[in-house]
Amino acid sequence: MIIAAVFRYVRKTIFHDKANLDTTFDAGGKVSIGLTATTLVSQMTWAASILQSVTVAVQYGISGAFWYGASAMCVIFLFAILSIHLKTKSPGAKTFLQVIRVRFGKATHIIFCVFAGLTNVLVMLILLLAGSALLKGLILDMSIELACMLMAFVIGSYTLIGGLGATFYVSYVNTTLVFCFMIVLIKEVFLNDSPREDDLPIGSADKMFTHLINATGPVGNYNESFLTMLSSGSLMFGITSALLAVGVIVCDQSYWQSSIAAKPSHGVWGFVAAGLTWFTIPFVMATTFGLAYIAIEEAQGEPLLLETDVFRGLALPRVAQILLGTTGEYLTFLMILMAIMSTGSAEVIAMSSLIVYDIYQPYINPFRKELDASRCILCGKTNFASDNYNDQPPDDDKRDTCKCQPVFQCSECANDNDSRSNTSKLNEIVGVPPPYTCKEHGHYHEYQDHLMTYKNFCIIWITICTIPLVLCADWLGLDLAWVFVAIGIPVNCAAIPVILSVTWSKVTYQGMISGVVCGCVFGISVWLIIASTYDGGLADFLKNTGRQIPTLAGNGVSMLMGGLVCIVVSIFTLNRESYNEERVWGILQNIENPLHPWAMTYTQEFGKPKGESGVYERPTQQELRKRYRKPFIIVTVTAIGLSIGFFILWPAVMLPIKVMNQDQFRHWINLTLTWAFIAAAFIIIVPLVQEIHSIVNKARHNRKKKVPPFKIKHDIESPSSAFLRHFD
């Protein structure tokens, strides 16, 4: 909460941000590469990423640790490409569902709202199941009800204070602490040669190797060894995890939100850096604690935990407890708490944005009902500014043409800002600011203020609803491992249609709807049919539906059928006579808040305005594509290259090494530690330096312009000077 308050102070006194709905959900749209990367790392670091990765390593050894990290990391590289598609085709969109609503209409939009909401709910469930299991395991007599209330309070408190921007700052602190705790713990496992009283095989790679080589691994591993990459079980898990990651990441608004909060050139590299950095957490944590668990168990000759406790994700805290005692328990608790705070806050913000932008605003309480995307939301008339504000309509249509001036050229709005900045003591006591007087934008200002209040209620109620969600899952007996592998089956069907909505102009609403429905039905059916063939059938539901083959088949069929049906149906239902690619993408540029035009974020790139008249033109589709063509090509090649490198080349290089010998294992551990230290240095130093540099530059700019620290004086000014001032 302190960090959230610091963020609000910095944004108010230095950047002079106004408290409005858009900045709550996009943090101003100018987040740096470093903060984008650290926030994505924080969002992806579910409590399950830490706990479940160790569980997978306990099951399969070094191959399990590798595949857990590589599978999701490659999907993040894919999302970097989607990020630049969204930001160049619909720069003003705040959710990916807004694009679906404008392109495909109400029915398609509502269906995908259901799948997006389901994704957020399932991700939140995984997060809280892991957190509650850890709290109950570490704290004596901790009840599930108290654990849920504690997590809900932690998540909701600073989310309500600072919105998405505060989440960026808090995510940096949380990620920094997670990496610091990780370094402390891996040092104890691999870099501590001091003798131990308990004589455990911990302290160096050589000590651990003598016990790992004698441990008996699963049947699917080569020679039943934990020191091999030849593992059918871990490979199947990696493919299942990759399919799961595609569905969850593409359909989770929190990842699109991080993309929306940064400019295209910053966002794409933020995603690439995030993927390489996040890989460290599951890979290093699983290699360190998964192998330590196996070695200690082999040395003692008896299980450290029951199998059910291992699948609940308690292997990591058990090893930390053995190594560092109470200190290890506290470090594990704080690490998981940091993960819960970051991911939980991002999910709450994501769900709130979906409710506000995609449910309440268009359907429950719209500012203007039955508004077509080509019409101005302020006056309801035809908006001929599909490419810029200065398009001239045909003479016979001028009567029904929007003539609203941009808000930053409105002197009445400047006077409203001035009067609300200089509120009287009575207004401050009562808490009611002066009314808006601008006849053109005043009503929409009031509407946006109403949405701000509604947003706060959404955050509170969503946070409260997480408590019965976890209690219900606990009552049903759901464990972390089952939810993790099954989450993708009902949502993977929407992944490819969502990707096509921002990349393929020929997809139709018939294809979108049929794809997602057929994919969901076929995926769930295949999953249940295969699970029913095992002993006990569906009567032993959790055990049989959580097996590898049913979950792999269910996830794969759901995604592939969803994409295949969407493409085929779109090809046959496309109206080629009226099809116009430029209009398909051009209409998406009209998705924006007229009080905060998206083109103001791109002034440095496109050098607007032109001349002294202050006439405003927003970039066209052609200009956006041309400006970001080079970054798009570079990031596409980089993302594909890194995905091939991690998913194909790295495992292929390891194939000749059937089972690692002592020297090879030592080199593997040295690689793991090197990756950990480099990633920690990057994620701790780079975001901090970039943000300090940004704050210092803005403060210097304010001093040169003699801008007051707490408010900007708005005198009555010409539209030209008002326009130029907004470019500072």
Confirm whether 14 is domain-assigned: no
- Confidence band for 679, pLDDT divided at 50, 70 and 90: very high
Q: Are 48 and 182 in contact (CB under 8 A)?
A: no
Q: Residue 642: is its pLDDT beyond 80?
A: yes
Whether residue 609 has a cis bond before it, omega within 30° of 0:
yes
Higher pLDDT, 16 or 396: 16
Q: What is the 3-state secondary structure (H, E, C) of 58-80?
A: HHHCHHHHHHHHHHHHHHHHHHH
Pairwise CA distance, residues 45 & 31, whole Å:
20
Q: Residue 610: is its pLDDT beyond 90?
A: no
Contacts of residue 365, defined as CB under 8 A and 6 or more positions apart, other chains included, come to 450
Pairwise CA distance, residues 677 & 680, whole Å:
5
Residues 558 and 640 grouped into a single domain = no
**Among 642, 602, 643, which residue's Cα sits nearest to residue 621?**
602
Confirm whether 16 is domain-assigned: no
Instruction: Please report, for the domain that includes residue 694, its CATH number.
Output: 1.20.1730
The arithmetic mean of pLDDT across residues 119-124, rounded, is: 89
Choose one of 553, 580, 596: the last residue of a domain: 596
Residues 161 and 198 grouped into a single domain = yes
Q: Which two tokens stand for residue 257?
A: 């939100």
Choose one of 551, 576, 596: the last residue of a domain: 596
Cα-flanking dihedrals φ and ψ of residue 313, to 5°? 90, 25
From the number of C-beta atoms within 10 Å of its C-beta (0-12, 13-18, 19+), residue 379 rates as middle
Q: Give the model confidence (pLDDT) of 151-182 as tens digits.
A: 888 777 767 665 555 566 777 888 888 898 88
Residues 73 and 192 grouped into a single domain = yes
Q: Are 130 and 335 in contact (CB under 8 A)?
A: no
How far apart, in Å, are the Cα atoms of 302 and each of 59, 210, 293, 299? 16, 17, 11, 8
Choose one of 578, 596, 614: the last residue of a domain: 596
Q: Which two tokens stand for residue 520?
A: 């969901």
Confirm whether 12 is domain-assigned: no
Q: Which two tokens stand for residue 623?
A: 């200009």
**Among 477, 491, 503, which residue's Cα sits nearest to residue 527?**
491
**Among 552, 556, 559, 642, which residue's Cα sits nearest to residue 74?**
642
Pairwise CA distance, residues 12 & 15, whole Å:
6
From the number of C-beta atoms within 10 Å of its C-beta (0-12, 13-18, 19+), residue 425 rates as exposed
Q: Is the dihedral of CA 221, 77, 112, 511 positive or negative?
A: negative
Residues 152 and 134 grouped into a single domain = yes
Q: What angle do CA 294, 299, 304 make, to 5 degrees?
A: 55
Pairwise CA distance, residues 45 & 679, whole Å:
14
Q: Give the model confidence (pLDDT) of 395-432 as tens digits.
A: 445 456 777 777 777 888 888 777 776 665 555 555 56
DSSP state of 404: P
Q: Give the model confidence (pLDDT) of 55-106 as tens digits.
A: 999 999 999 999 999 988 888 888 888 888 888 888 888 889 999 999 999 9
Q: Determine the 3-state secondary structure of 221 from DSSP.
A: strand
Residues 139 and 181 grouped into a single domain = yes
Q: What angle do CA 121, 125, 130 make, to 5 degrees?
A: 155
Residues 58 and 139 grouped into a single domain = yes
Q: Residue 710: is its pLDDT beyond 50?
A: no
Residues 635 and 571 grouped into a single domain = no
Q: Residue 523: is its pLDDT beyond 90?
A: yes
**Among 421, 240, 429, 255, which residue's Cα sits nearest to residue 346?**
255
Cα-flanking dihedrals φ and ψ of residue 493, to 5°? -60, -25
Residues 360 and 461 grouped into a single domain = yes
Higher pLDDT, 666 or 701: 666
Predicted pLDDT of residue 713: 38
Contacts of residue 214, defined as CB under 8 A and 6 or more positions apart, other chains included, come to 298
Contacts of residue 94, defined as CB under 8 A and 6 or more positions apart, other chains included, come to 22, 25, 26, 257, 260, 353, 357
DSSP β-bridge partners for residue 593: 596
Confirm whether 95 is domain-assigned: yes
Confirm whether 9 is domain-assigned: no
Contacts of residue 446, defined as CB under 8 A and 6 or more positions apart, other chains included, come to 435, 436
Q: Determine the 3-state secondary structure of 576 from DSSP.
A: coil
Residue span of the structural domain in which 541 resides: 490-596
Q: Residue 468: is its pLDDT beyond 80?
A: yes
Mean pLDDT of the chain: 81
Confirm whether 335 is domain-assigned: yes
Q: What is the 3-state secondary structure (H, E, C) of 444-497?
A: HHHHHHHHHHHHHHHHHHHHHHHHHHHHHHHHHCCCHHHHHHHCHHHHHHHHHH
Task: Strands of 77-229 (E only): list them.
Answer: none
Confirm whether 655 is domain-assigned: yes
Q: Which two tokens stand for residue 464?
A: 């409260």
Q: Give the model confidence (pLDDT) of 560-600 as tens digits.
A: 999 999 999 999 999 888 888 888 888 888 888 787 777 77
Pairwise CA distance, residues 67 & 283, whole Å:
8
- Confidence band for 725, pLDDT divided at 50, 70 and 90: very low
Q: What angle do CA 50, 56, 60 make, to 5 degrees?
A: 145
Q: Determine the 3-state secondary structure of 381 from DSSP.
A: coil
Residues 278 and 187 grouped into a single domain = yes
Pairwise CA distance, residues 452 & 458, whole Å:
10
Q: Residue 612: is its pLDDT beyond 70?
A: no
How far apart, in Å, are the Cα atoms of 5 and each of 42, 169, 457? 20, 10, 19
Q: Which two tokens stand for residue 417?
A: 């800002």
Q: Are 406 and 389 in contact (CB under 8 A)?
A: yes
How far apart, in Å, are the Cα atoms of 455 and each of 161, 351, 572? 12, 10, 41
Q: Is the dihedral of CA 20, 22, 26, 32 positive or negative?
A: negative
Q: Which two tokens stand for residue 513?
A: 């709807």
Number of domains in the chain: 2
DSSP β-bridge partners for residue 221: 231
Q: Which two tokens stand for residue 442?
A: 């005043």
DSSP state of 615: -
DSSP β-bridge partners for residue 231: 221
Scored b (16 or more CB within 10 A) or e, 311-348 reads: bbbbbbbbbbbbbbeeebbebbbebbbbbbbbbbbbbb
Q: Give the model confidence (pLDDT) of 262-292 as tens digits.
A: 666 666 788 888 889 999 999 999 999 999 9
Confirm whether 227 is domain-assigned: yes
Residues 674 and 548 grouped into a single domain = no
The arithmetic mean of pLDDT across residues 235-259, rounded, is: 87
Taking the CB of residue 465, how many other CB atoms lie within 10 A of it? 13
DSSP state of 728: -
Contacts of residue 512, defined as CB under 8 A and 6 or more positions apart, other chains included, come to 100, 104, 108, 111, 112, 497, 500, 501, 566, 570
- Confidence band for 261, pLDDT divided at 50, 70 and 90: low
Q: What is the dihedral of CA 379, 380, 381, 385, to 10 degrees?
A: 80
Predicted pLDDT of residue 274: 87
Residues 160 and 270 grouped into a single domain = yes
Higher pLDDT, 605 or 487: 487
Q: Which two tokens stand for residue 296?
A: 């200690």
Residues 170 and 224 grouped into a single domain = yes
**Among 532, 564, 566, 562, which residue's Cα sits nearest to residue 547?**
532
Q: Are 255 and 343 in contact (CB under 8 A)?
A: no
Q: Which two tokens stand for residue 195?
A: 């003798």
Q: How many CA atoms lie within 13 A of 300 on its CB side?
A: 14
Q: Give the model confidence (pLDDT) of 292-338 as tens digits.
A: 999 999 988 888 888 888 887 888 888 988 888 888 888 888 888 77
Q: What percent of the chain has pLDDT over 90?
A: 26
Pairwise CA distance, residues 498 & 249, whole Å:
11
Q: Residue 609: is its pLDDT beyond 60?
A: no
Pairwise CA distance, residues 204 & 190, whole Å:
4
